[in-house]
Amino acid sequence: MRAARQAAPLEGRDALLLDLDGVVYQGPGAIPYAVQSIVRAGESVRVGYITNNASRTDEQVAAHLRELGLPVRAADIVTSPQAAVRVLATLVDPGSRILVVGGDGLVVELEAAGFVVTRSADDSPAAVIQGFAPHVGWEHLAEASFALHTGIPWVATNTDWTIPVARGVAPGNGTLVSAVHLAVGRLPVFAGKPETAIFEVASERFGAQNPLVVGDRLDTDILGGKRAGMATAIVLTGIDRAKQVLAAPPTMQPDFIIGDLRELFEPYPAVEHVVDAEGARTVTVGKAVVRMRGHVVRVVKPGKSDLDLLRAAAAAIYASGLQIYGLDVDERLMALAVSS
């Protein structure tokens, strides 16, 4: 059955909710075409930014974005510390003393909510709150461990195992949380992506009823957006690329696959599925054709666009309901290096 050509991913939306690292910038510099595309989007929809990075305040993030040429206010930034403090407030009494593992992003939000900040387990904190900051080291993790052995609540901003930086991929907050987890034998309550709390904050702040979430990570941006009932688009400028997109389980399968943010405004290509009498499925996107028979996925025609080839392969695999580890996938698909 041939599907009608779809509208552009941004068409009909009332808000665009963007991840930052790997979507808008990588390190200090903007990702190609991101700034121009976001400025254009802002002419028709409310643009908000959702970040799991807990090391900076919303104003610091906004200042960085303004340096890149974007018209941004602090109120346009939804941070994982904001969501974490919201969760924390349900676990401890107002004005409690909280041990912080992290940077200014957490401290500012805690103090704004009336909590008292400490860095020492000797101050008998009522809870521990943990988020990423470049300076976090063994001493900070040890203080969290000392405090958590008393059984107090533990809230973490996010589970990101890695973060993209100018020099490559580095350990993220999830890695640091894991170190504490191994020391104390329990896990924290998480507030940032992929949990719904951060998306709830964004929906309320921007009055969004039909937003589009755009991110570079399936396990945070796409999973979180889907959990929150929002449309999602994976952009291939950050952490996850073709191999990860093809392997996405149903909870992380995006509505749209785009190479860069310019494609938010372009009609999304039709996806044609044809299933023969033997149950083999042929999927066509543009000039790219992929066939899946049983557990075998093969390229029939590569077409002229690696992105359309990836879309066709993903559509075939997603429709099968099978997981990637049980499939024989054409090596050309797994090695696709889709570039913007």
Catalytic residues: 19, 21
Residue 57's Cβ-count burial label (10 Å; 0-12, 13-18, 19+) is buried
Write down how long the chain is: 340
β-sheet bridge partners, residue 282: 274, 291
Structure tokens at 321: 């309901």
75-109 per-residue burial string, b: 16 or more CB within 10 A, e: under 16 = ebbbbbbbbbbbbbeeebeeebebbbbbbbbbbbb
Structure tokens at 337: 């290096």
**CA dist., res. 122 & res. 143, Å (int):** 9
Structure tokens at 67: 């340096």
Coil, helix or strand at residue 135:
coil
- Contact, 271 vs 311, CB < 8 A? yes
Nearest CA to 65 out of 46, 47, 84, 83 is that of 47
The DSSP output letter for 220 is I
The DSSP output letter for 289 is E
Nearest CA to 17 out of 197, 196, 208 is that of 208
